[in-house]
A and B are shown apart, each in its own frame.
Chain A
Amino acid sequence: MRTRNLTGNTAAVMPPPPTTERPRVKRNTKMDVCGLSVWYGDKQALHSVSMDITENEVTALIGPSGCGKSTFLRCLNRMNDLVQGVRIEGEVEFDHENIYAPEVDVVELRSHIGMVFQKPNPFPKSIYDNIAYAPRILGQVRKRTEMDDLVERSLKRAGLWDEVRDRLDAPGLSLSGGQQQRLCIARAIAVNPSVLLMDEPCSALDPVATATVEQLIDELKENYTIVIVTHNLQQAARVAGYTAFFHLGEIIEFADTDSLFTHPREKKTEDYITGRYG
């Protein structure tokens, strides 16, 4: 296995990590993570983790706080590059290209692999401009009529159009929490990504807004590959086709959701999902 000091830091190149058994799932692989290790300073957050992410499926990452699931998620579109003192090893392939290769344009990469965060974070701009901002600066859309179409299409896909069509000039922040989160999802899909990363997208939402977002996730998987970090086990059970259980920076078990929640192979998984952890 090749290893490379991916962030270009001057730290010594580490010896190749031990080969780990790779959890494999069938169907098309959209992203392929191989031997991924992450250090924040001296602290290792991920220990040579490998995983396939299936196209047009929802993959959920579960595990206790500090288990490395968010770190893993952030490696998938190089969000961790922004963290001071981070060192990343291993490979993350997106459509068979290593996203950590030196020639990769990170901004372009993130237009293919979008992200939705825990707390809705619309820009302090109008609903319309929240959607239009990225396509405009990326130069994807130039004409006003095309932009109108894109805004409408994105909001429709995010299930928000009917609620905001009459007030597109209103500030994004004037919407309710659930609406704001769907606005952020609409914003993420406006640049036509193929993968959506979601970091606890419903943890700040009430049950009704959560149900709406989950329904949306269900519809979005037709066109997008979704990776979702969630603390809500029931949410993973409801929305995900595959679920990975992280513990202390390793993947303990990765399986289809039905198996993982009815007869997990590993004792640690069983203990965690049945509430016997700790």
Chain B
Amino acid sequence: MEKVGLEKHTSKQFDADLEDVRELVLAMGGLVEQQIADAVRALISGESALGEDVVNGDTEVNRMEVEIDEHCTRILARRAPQAGDLRLVMAVAKTITDLERIGDEAEKIGRMATLLATQERPKSAFRQIELLGRHVREMLRDALDAFARLDSDAAIRIAQADAEVDREYEGVVRQCITYMMEDPRTIRHMLDVLWAVKALERIGDHSKNIGEYVVYFVEGKDVRHIGVEAMEQEVSRSSRSR
């Protein structure tokens, strides 16, 4: 199948509509990425004000989701898009749902940061959180780059990174359990930490989903729920046939 593009419709306004919606998704993605960065920083450094900013910032993420959704509905109603255009609109509609969920996870972490700000923090556990936070942010950035560049190969890297994040998450969980066993007074605190790393792990999952929507948009193939290896095969098969 041919590589998709957004331009060159006979109707220039249609080009503009699709370009608008694509730019909005990237803007929303950038905002969400910043939310994650701020949330993790607030948690690590105990800046409760920054945590609150993240919580408040989620309103803007939600607003953008609604705005882009309206754009998609309008394009479907007025343009009746086909083929690659249709896949773009479908991919966008799904992507913003995942972005919005990522925003919710960042909000949770921000809330947690405010809650934990005054408490003492075990260094090593927080180092792990920082690392995990960096990894999932990279995943999200990769997914957004893939979306911007129509790069379906990136989806494979993101899926592989997600498997790595899942392993790191398990590591943090084990560490928390150790702390809790050593000193039951830390249980309350550690449970909060666990909520935060769970939120980060979920962000990884959502980023992986976005990568899969990029494959659907670019290749016209649904690679959800088939595992990394099968995904690799699907994507390499279609890049060969190009």
Which residues of A line the B interface, CB within 8 A? 233-234, 237, 261-267, 269-271, 273-278
Contacts and interface: CB of A to CB of B under 8 A. Distances in A.
Interface of B: 1-2, 4, 8-11, 14, 80-87, 220-221
A274 B14 CA distance: 10
Given A262-B220, A263-B220, A266-B2, A274 B82 contact: yes
Given A261-B82, A274-B82, 12 more contacts: A261-B83, A263-B83, A264-B83, A265-B1, A266-B2, A267-B2, A270-B2, A270-B83, A274-B84, A275-B9, A275-B11, A278-B10
B83 A274 contact: yes
A264 B219 CA distance: 10
A273 B83 contact: yes
B83 A262 contact: yes
Contacts of B80: 233-234
Contacts of A266: 2
B10 A277 contact: yes
Contact of A261 (B9, B14, B86, B221): B86
A274 B87 contact: no
A278 B9 CA distance: 9
A270 B11 contact: no
B2 A262 contact: no
Contacts of B85: 274
B183 to A, nearest CB: 57
A276 B8 contact: yes
A57 B214 CA distance: 34
Given A234-B80, A273-B82, A262 B87 contact: yes
- 8 residue pairs, one from A and one from B, having the closest CB atoms: A263-B220, A267-B2, A273-B82, A270-B83, A275-B9, A274-B85, A276-B8, A275-B10
Nearest to A278: B10
B242 to A, nearest CB: 11
A241 B86 CA distance: 19
7 contacts: A262-B86, A263-B1, A264-B1, A267-B2, A274-B81, A274-B85, A275-B14
Contacts of A261: 82-83, 86
A119 B146 CA distance: 50
Contacts of B87: 262-263
A270 B84 contact: yes
Contacts of B84: 270, 274
| Residue in A264, A265, A276 whose Cβ sees the most chain B Cβ within 10 Å | A276
A133 to B, nearest CB: 40
Contacts of B2: 266-267, 270
A21 to B, nearest CB: 16
Nearest to B86: A262
Contacts of A270: 2, 4, 83-84
Contacts of B11: 275
A241 B111 CA distance: 53
B142 to A, nearest CB: 24
